[in-house]
Amino acid sequence: MVLTQTAYAKINLALHVRKRRDDGYHELETLFAFVDAGDTLSAKRADADRVITVGEFVGGIDDPFDNLVAKALSLLPRTGGLDIRLEKLLPVAAGLGGGSADAGAIFRLVEALHGLPDDWQARAAKLGADVPCCVRSETVIGQGTGTELEPIENDLKGTPVLLVNPRVPLSTGPVFKAWDGRDRGALPQGSAKEIALAGRNDLEVPAVELCPAIVQVLDTLKADNPWLARMSGSGATCFALYDTLEARDAAQARLNTDHPDWWQLAGKLR
């Protein structure tokens, strides 16, 4: 029996950086959301764990046996091994939580076959701040380093979304290091849509300093009049949200013509 899971692309509809913590991390308030597409993982029972990685962006993973998929497997108690095939369709170092989404999919695959331990959230947090939210891949508020999750009224389910990346990798560490340290205020209150509209991404300015192409991506997306266009996470991927599938598809068609070298993914919010 082969089980399959999608590692749903994670986007930050808003990301407020409040302060730098004593432990070196940053205090965050963010609105996580997920697109109904991403990497694909399949699993079948085996005598020992094995991870095979294929796909367009496999070259972005330095060591497929030391990535978050392998690390997630090592953290979860099971009987026997799993043979995992990861098709890497999301760009790496792109602000989409690709590795975290892959790890989250592993948790769901193990849950289907063996169940999860009661402390699965703590185990997920050991892999990265956004791994716990990627396990369920639901629209939630993230606080602290991103591991403290709160439910929210999700009035964005099914919203057409277009993701665009200029194919420039941008690591999270340098972007946070370039942040000016200014607290610009808390995440607004309300439903997911209200927070997204009133929120911001505090990492956009430092990310643009490191990757000026982000400005061109955002300007291009805004030209088609989505109701929101913003950078996700630490970049360089940007997203646009539309009222209709027709508007999204028209924007994607224009992008295919004007910027065929850019990576893009069309979907809907979960």
Backbone dihedral region for residue 15 (phi beyond 0: left; psi -120 to 50: alpha; all else: beta): beta
- Please state, in angstroms and rounded to a whole number, the distance separating the CA atoms of residues 210 and 67: 25
The answer to whether 36 is a known catalytic residue is no
Q: Among the options 102, 130, 202, 224, which is catalytic?
A: 130
Rounded distance, CA 71 to CA 61, Å? 14
Retrieve residue 158's tokens: 């099914």
Residues paired with residue 210 on neighbouring β-strands, in sequence order: none
Q: How many helices (H) and strands (E) does the chain have?
A: 9, 10
Q: Could you give the CA distance from residue 58 to residue 154 in angstroms, rounded to a whole number?
A: 33
DSSP secondary structure letters along 184-246: --PPPPSSHHHHHHH--BTTHHHHHHH-THHHHHHHHHHTT--SEEEE-TTSS-EEEE-SSHH
Selecting among 10, 39, 88, 202, the annotated active-site residue is 10
Q: Which two tokens stand for residue 12?
A: 């930050």
Q: Is 10 a catalytic residue?
A: yes
Catalytic machinery residues: 10, 130
